[in-house]
Amino acid sequence: MSHRRCSLAGPLCSLLILVTLLQFQQSAVAMRYFENETKARIWFEHMNAELQSLNHQSAQYGWDLSTQKQSREEFTLESMVQLAQRKATWLWETCEEGAVHRQHGWPFDRAYYLLCRGSRNTPEELSDMAELFSFIQRIYTETMICIPVECGYQNRPLAETMLWRNTFVHYPGRTMARLDLSPVAPLAELASDQRNAIRIPEQLVCFHGEPDLERIMTGEGLDRVCSGQLHNEAILRWAWESWRMAVGPPMRQPYDRLLDLMNRGCARGANHGNMGQCWREDLEISDSRQLVDRLWQDVKPFYQKLHAVLRHFVRQRYPKEQGSIDSNGLLPAHLVGGMWSHSWTSYGQDIIPHPISIDRQFANANWSSLDLVRRAEDIYASLGLSRMTEGFWKNSIIGNASKSNTAKCHGSAANMFADDSADLRMIVCPRSESAAQDFYVTVHEMGHIVYYMEASKQPTIFRDGTSAAFHEALGDSIYLAAMTPQHLVRVGLLDSKHMAPETIASGQEKTHAERLAQSLNSFDYAFLLRMALAKIPTIPFEYLMDRYRWDLFDRTVDFPAHANDYFWFLLENEQGIRPPASVHARQSLFDAGAVYHLSDNTPFVRYFLASFLSYQIYEGLCRSALFGTVSKRSVNEIPMPLHRCDLYGSKKAGKLLRKSLALGASVHWTDVLEQLTGEVEISAKSLLRYYQPLHEFLDRFIERHGLIVGWTG
């Protein structure tokens, strides 16, 4: 009967049947989608649990190695290789499984992308790479340069000759041997004498590259070399050359093999031609090479002005070297500060003499290691960010290297990926000679801890920052806030009288820029110069180290035959730095190997980008604190010079920061940047705005002294 009624209905009956069929098909599709989504969610949950376990094991290995909690016998290379191979196998299988689910509707694209991008080396390649990296890392971290306690001569020329003749090197696992410095020694007669065997003295003083020789290069502990018998420039040149001669040559052949192995893994995993492309993929920037070049060109004119002024004072400080430093020439690398000519702060009082020295004020404060960490915590907590956990205070190494079995201590932060997400640790071993630098390191490393804490509620895959550059930038942006004159007054490092302008403003109508300029005093200029001398010279070196390695990865440069010539080509052209003697004498060396981040295989571009992001984030937080929004279109101009914008206690800035950090890596970095700054591009504008008063001061100084900006080789 029903069939007949349907027949009588004609088209209406057909429509009902069609609707029923469509509903059934949609239901089936929905069921399949639900089933696939359920499987995908199970995959996602299992992936995070297994990733947390693997990350915890890796973090524990890293912590034990950095603190030398385990002896070399216990901490075997084999155990590291096994972990790397186990993680690589798991990653391959997990990504293959995820790819199957991804074909049928997928809510976890970002997690899959973050997990499965990058290189894929075979177990055999991983074993080879681990052995090679272990070798070059031990060369860097354990090699010691040794000299007699006394050079034996009061006559300075003879003492210098004996220093170069009696330099010894102790490589890990080997006996002491004399270091042949003849290719780079400034003494012509040294080469013939190097062939003669010299007995190793019984009393030696030995130096690691970091921190011992690095401290010497910044002007600390010069009297440890030949008991102060030599001119400073002679000691600086010896320290600079001996470290490069000791660690560079042994790394050349192993690094060539590593370039090949890393390129193979990248081609197999990400289908890129070389490892440089894999590194740049991690940035999630489509035109990363162009962006990096553009940012450097934006800040280079400011760097060149600093370089011109510094050259003027290097010539004055080292009159014996004046003949080798032209008024438009390159700076000798060993005379400007730091092992890599990247820390120029020792010249600050020469350029702008001022009764208040920030470095001296920090040193005179005599803060203990714990004081430094507590004061850093106070800055973050004042914004409403979380305080350090009980586990942090229990497990961190703060100014007590005896907790580890080593006297060496490199500032770092660690997320141990524990089950409760609360095991976060820091290593900070301050030293009294560099209290201001210690404060920076402490605030910077605590920035990593705070980021980990705020992102801890995210799944494991998202618990890192939105990018490595953001992770590096956070602590630096808070450091800028901690170094405002207002905060220095607050913590007792500056008298409030240095906040007052030194000129009385007239009643005439003035532009915003003129009003800002009149609010400044001599301390502001000395302060900005000190900040610039510490931070701006690092930018070209960060830029060049990765440009150099990118060109090694893509084999644009023949390694090792032409690698050192190319390295110095970049430093001379972009950084305005030259070696103490001829570049040609260094052709067979590997000077880039003397940089920690090369042996550690860490990309420098994250630090380069952070150098710009930190000023952008600081300005965004400043706008939030003042106006409740980061938008530049809907608010007034910041009513004070940017370096005077005090964030301490601003819950508005802290709320914005917590909201952004809590996202972890779950969103693209442009989303986080837009939240914090109102912008979606990394820019040099905030950095240049911060230093604008100094920029104008340098212009006046250069004009008054007739200095040449730029350099020729």
Q: Is 321 part of the annotated catalytic residue set?
A: no
In angstroms, rounded to a whole number, what is the distance separating the alpha carbons of residues 386 and 453? 8
Helices (H), 519-584: 522-535, 538-553, 563-570
In angstroms, rounded to a whole number, what is the distance separating the alpha carbons of residues 433 and 363? 7
Q: Which DSSP category does 213 fall into?
A: I
487 annotated ligand-binding residue: no
584 annotated ligand-binding residue: no
Is the CB of residue 184 less than 8 Å from the CB of residue 581?
yes
3-state SS assignment for residue 168: strand
Is the CB of residue 459 less than 8 Å from the CB of residue 665?
no
Q: Which residues contact 663 (CB under 8 A, 6 or more apart)?
A: 455, 458, 462, 466, 671, 672
In angstroms, rounded to a whole number, what is the distance separating the alpha carbons of residues 573 and 562? 17
3-state SS assignment for residue 482: helix
334 annotated ligand-binding residue: no
In angstroms, rounded to a whole number, what is the distance separating the alpha carbons of residues 541 and 608? 9
Per-residue DSSP letters for 314-350? HHHH-GGGGGGS-TTSPEEGGGSSSTTS---GGGHHH
606 annotated ligand-binding residue: yes
Q: Is 208 part of the annotated catalytic residue set?
A: no
Tokens of 282: 């991690």
Exposure pattern of 99-138 as b/e (b: 16+ CB <10 Å)? Answer: eebbeeebebeebbebbbebbbbeeebbbbbbebbebbbe
**Which of 56, 354, 597, 695 is labelled catalytic?**
597
Is the CB of residue 452 less than 8 Å from the CB of residue 415?
yes
Q: Which residues contact 58 (CB under 8 A, 6 or more apart)?
A: 83, 87
Cis peptide upstream of residue 211 (ω within 30 degrees of 0): yes
Is residue 187 classed exposed, middle or buried when 0-12, 13-18 and 19+ CB atoms within 10 A define those classes?
middle
Identify residue 570 by its one-letter amino acid code.
L
**Which of 445, 454, 542, 572 is labelled catalytic?**
445
Which segments are annotated as binding site? 444, 448, 472, 606
Q: Report, as residue numbers or ranges, the catalytic residues.
A: 445, 597
Which segments are annotated as binding site for chloride? 606
Which segments are annotated as binding site for Zn(2+)? 444, 448, 472
